[in-house]
Amino acid sequence: MVGEPPDLDGRLADAVERLGDAARAMLRRSAAADGLSPTQAQLLLRITSGSAPREGTGALAGWLEVSAPTVSDALRTLAVKGMVERGQPPEPRVWTATPRGLETARQLRHWRGPLLGALRRQATERKAEALASILQVIAELNVDGHISTARNCLTCRFFRGEQAGEGWCTLLDTALSPATLRVDCPEHRAAAPTC
């Protein structure tokens, strides 16, 4: 059996970083076209995501890994632009998108087009393996305290099975293959820390 190539972990980390750089650049260009900062665009996309729970400023800050004041400033600007508004009782701390915000978010989602096109050209098995591996890394970074929010199957108390392989969701009562693992689950409940 051939050993692991030299510095495979370092090169993989470099590749993930480069992909992240490219994704941020594409989002930045899309946000600028709509007169938004990248943070404002990310918040609007998060608030309008079908999988995102209804969140307040603190939870949004945790998701973006930025400070609450940064999120507060961005949300105030989005509110002034008529794209978001505070929720009504009983959820006054929750932010919701206005019709204008929903339309802007729909347009913003096109930033992923080139990335999705490149992914569509990859074999399904390779994509499933990559997804499972990346979610495992995210889960470990979450457990180690480097990522504050990781709402994927591998960090959920309802997940049973191998860490990144075949598994079972006890909440949805369904099998989970590597290709069907969720990245941002609306039903996610954090698993109890393991010692």
pLDDT at 2: 64
Torsion of CA 48, 54, 55, 56, to 10 degrees: 100
In this prediction, residue 195 has a pLDDT band, given cuts at 50, 70 and 90, of very low
175 is written with which tokens?
Answer: 């099998």
Residue appearing with tokens 């293959």: 177
| Contact assessment for residue 41 and residue 25, using Cβ atoms and an 8 Å cutoff | no
22-81 pLDDT, tens digit per residue, is 999 999 999 999 999 999 999 999 999 877 677 788 888 888 889 999 999 999 999 999
What CATH number is given for 9-114 in this structure? 1.10.10.10
Q: Where does 26-93 show beta strands of DSSP type E?
A: 84-86
Q: Cα–Cα distance between 136 and 11 in angstroms, integer?
A: 18
pLDDT for res 164: 58
- The residue extents of the domains of the chain are 9-114, 124-180
Residues 6+ apart with CB under 8 A from 173: none
Lookup result for tokens 């507060």: 72
Which one-letter amino acid corresponds to residue 63?
Answer: W
Considering only CA atoms, which of 77, 92, 12 is closest in space to residue 38? 77
pLDDT averaged over every residue in the chain: 88
What dihedral angle (degrees, nearest 10) is formed by the CA atoms of 32, 34, 36, 38? Answer: -60
Average pLDDT over residues 14-26: 93
Residue 190: phi and psi, rounded to 5, are -60, 135
Say if residue 104's pLDDT is above 80. yes
Paired tokens of 136: 């495992």
127-146 pLDDT, tens digit per residue, is: 999 999 999 999 899 888 88
CA dist., res. 105 & res. 48, Å (int): 7
| CA proximity to 37, closest of 71, 84, 82, 86 | 71
Closest Cα partner for 42 from 22, 26, 134? 26
